[in-house]
Amino acid sequence: MSTVADSSTAADSKRVTDSGTADSNTVAEASTTAASTTAGSSRLAVEVRGLVKSYSGKQAVMGIDLAIRQGEVFALLGPNGAGKTTTVEILEGYRTRDHGEVSVLGVDPGHHRSRLKSRIGIVLQSTSVDRYLTVRETIGMYAGFYPHPRPVDEVIHLVGLDAKRNDRVLKLSGGQQRRLDVAIALAGSPELLFLDEPTTGFDPSARHEAWDVIKNLASLGMTVLLTTHYMDEAQFLADRVAVIAEGRLVAQGPPATIGDRDRARARIRYRLPDGAAPPADLAGPPGPDGIIEVATDDAVHALNRLTGWAISQGVRLDGLEVTRPSLEDVYLALTGPASADASSPAAASARKEGRA
């Protein structure tokens, strides 16, 4: 398995030391297993049914179901302690489950983890590599651990480090080091890549550099499982997202439609000059910044009436915009304190989609 070392925890250290080469018999056995799956299952990179995991009698994961298609970027979202890390570590084969069925690339990681070693790559939050090796030397060293590695120069090109191939690791910027992390995970030519909060602590420029790398991988048909706390990251990168809260899967679907956010009431926001009085049903108390916000079921009709009134009266509508609930709005409705309130429309709608 292609991995990056995490020096912060013993568990993650094990994830690196366990990444030795798979012998030819293991590789052949994995190929035979994958070929024997049904046509329907072969289109899924990950399939999870009824996943349950407890620690000291307390359930951390409560009956999660997931289906991740081959070649898609799938984002797993949720607050700290929601069960994301436990779920991902079970998929990687580094943590046992209590109940449920799990298939990763046609293999049960809880019983046949060795079959996955050369087929998955992992990029952890924090990494540790020899800072005095060059980029090319580092990737070449990791590539040497695997029976069928991707060519080193190809990996360097994939992550956009061509100009830095002969630079030492200590000379790389934060964004470039993250590209190197991904390159190490790609050294074994994995079919499935796990990305654990890949841009935490990055400045905006470095974040977008990392996004470009991930998009490049997706364009090659690689399956990517991403965990992140950045909703704009999930929105930009993911084909589908799933939200976990308190160990349960509460919603999943495309970022644009999860929680029915594409059908939620639109919000019209604008600022009026002093003394102006718009139509009563399109008015409201201004906020601290002077912005009036109105919710409507028919944004086109309401906007036509509002702008028609403004034109006829010669009134400026500064800051005029029409929005719908963002992915972050839906996420907060699902995972925040209000999510326990069944009367919350956003939470109720999103939870309903998550059960579908």
What is the CATH number assigned to the segment(s) 2-255? 3.40.50.300
CA 31 vs CA 35, 93, 107: distances in Å: 6, 18, 10
Close Cβ partners of 3 (under 8 Å, ≥ 6 residues apart): 15, 16, 19, 121, 122, 124, 184, 185
What is the separation of C-alpha 345 from the centre of its chain, rounded to a whole number of angstroms?
25
Strand pairing partners for 295? Answer: 267
- Which secondary-structure segment (H or E) carries 320? strand 318-323
In terms of Cα–Cα distance, which of 174, 175, 121, 169 is closest to 145?
A: 121
Taken in order 224, 230, 231, 236, the sign of the CA dihedral is negative
Q: What is the pLDDT along the chain (356 residues), one digit of tens a residue?
A: 444 433 333 444 444 434 444 444 433 443 444 344 333 444 899 999 999 999 998 999 999 999 999 999 999 999 999 999 999 999 999 999 999 999 999 999 999 888 888 899 999 877 789 999 999 999 999 999 988 999 999 999 999 999 999 999 999 988 888 889 999 999 999 999 999 988 887 888 888 888 988 888 888 889 999 999 999 999 999 999 999 999 999 999 999 888 788 888 899 999 999 889 999 999 999 999 999 999 999 999 999 999 999 999 999 999 999 988 889 988 998 887 654 443 344 444 444 444 33
Could you state, in order of their start, the residue ranges of all structural domains in the chain?
Answer: 2-255, 265-323
Close Cβ partners of 6 (under 8 Å, ≥ 6 residues apart): 12, 13, 15, 16, 124, 125, 126, 127, 128
Length of the chain: 356
